[in-house]
């Protein structure tokens, strides 16, 4: 994987997706060919998950049941977020009820009890991004590797290899530059990372993640978003 600050890229991509009301949804049809259609997006969880609605009796859901491999592309202001993964039909009634939108009544006259009312959940496995004229590619599993206390993704840190840094977890809160106050705090509380703390985000963490210093997050709050995902 290329060296870039993955926590920052994750926040950038998630912010772009959160502003999109629709995405280009691609499936594999019954003949083994890709088929793409524009779909209104109901809900997203960062770049990890996305929910859409479709008729249970329709072609889209039937194709997904036959082959769950799929892709979603979101576009905003010249930035492209392409997510590759698998989609499944949501059968939990409470989830379907929570995701119901008023305008769905035009498609499902029976309301959220309508047997043809379907919700599909897309789960990302691979990410390909074009943000601010830069390309980023990584596996979603890279995001889920807990490599720090504060939400920094050490495996994509530009300082890791040149300084032979083992990260704050492996080094007992002493990365290459010295003792880390955030890591020490989490370690003293016997927490794997700050996302497990009842005080998250505390003022110390916000200073690191949302401040204006040279090594603070861009965009602000990136590490906090990663911690939410980890927890």
- Can you give the three-state secondary structure of 31-49, one letter per residue? CCCEEEEEEEEEEEECCCE
Q: Average pLDDT for residues 86-104, to the nearest whole number? A: 96
> Which pLDDT belongs to residue 84?
98
Q: Is the pLDDT of residue 160 over 90?
A: no
Query: Is residue 230 a contact partner of residue 151, using CB atoms and an 8 Å limit?
Result: yes
The domain ranges of the chain are: 6-142, 146-230
Q: Is the pLDDT of residue 1 over 50?
A: no
pTM for the whole structure: 0.87
Q: What are phi and psi of 54, to 5 degrees?
A: -160, 160
With bands split at pLDDT 50, 70 and 90, how would you rate the model's confidence at 4? Answer: low
List, as own/partner pairs, every contact residues 181-185 make where C-beta atoms lie below 8 angstroms and the sequence separation is at least 24, other chains included: 182/149, 182/150, 182/208, 183/148, 183/149, 183/150, 185/149
Q: Average pLDDT for residues 132-143, to the nearest whole number? A: 93
With bands split at pLDDT 50, 70 and 90, how would you rate the model's confidence at 157? Answer: confident
**Count of beta carbons in the 10 Å neighbourhood of residue 204:** 14
> Which pLDDT belongs to residue 215?
82
Query: Is residue 148 a contact partner of residue 183, using CB atoms and an 8 Å limit?
Result: yes
Quickly name the fold that domain 6-142 has.
Pnp Oxidase; Chain A (2.30.110)
């Amino acid at each position: 994987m290329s060296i870039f600050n993955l926590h920052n890229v994750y926040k950038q991509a998630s912010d772009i997706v959160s502003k999109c009301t629709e995405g280009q949804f691609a499936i594999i049809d019954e003949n083994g060919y890709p088929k793409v259609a524009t779909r209104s997006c109901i809900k997203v969880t960062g770049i990890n998950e996305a929910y859409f609605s479709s008729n249970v009796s329709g072609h889209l859901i039937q194709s997904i049941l036959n082959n769950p491999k799929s892709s979603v592309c979101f576009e905003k202001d010249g930035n492209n977020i392409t997510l590759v993964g698998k989609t499944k039909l949501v059968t939990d009634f409470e989830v379907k009820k929570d995701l119901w939108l008023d305008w769905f009544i035009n498609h499902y006259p029976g309301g959220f009890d309508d047997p043809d009312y379907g919700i599909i959940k897309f789960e990302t496995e691979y990410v390909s991004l074009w943000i601010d004229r830069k390309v980023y590619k990584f596996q979603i599993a890279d995001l889920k590797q807990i490599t720090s206390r504060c939400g920094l993704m050490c495996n994509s840190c530009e300082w890791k290899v040149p300084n032979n840094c083992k990260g704050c977890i492996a080094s007992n809160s002493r990365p290459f530059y010295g003792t880390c106050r955030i890591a020490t705090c989490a370690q003293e509380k016997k927490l794997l990372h700050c996302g497990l703390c009842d005080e998250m985000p505390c003022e110390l963490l916000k200073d690191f993640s949302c401040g204006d210093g040279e090594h603070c997050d861009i965009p602000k709050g990136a590490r906090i978003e990663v911690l939410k995902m980890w927890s």
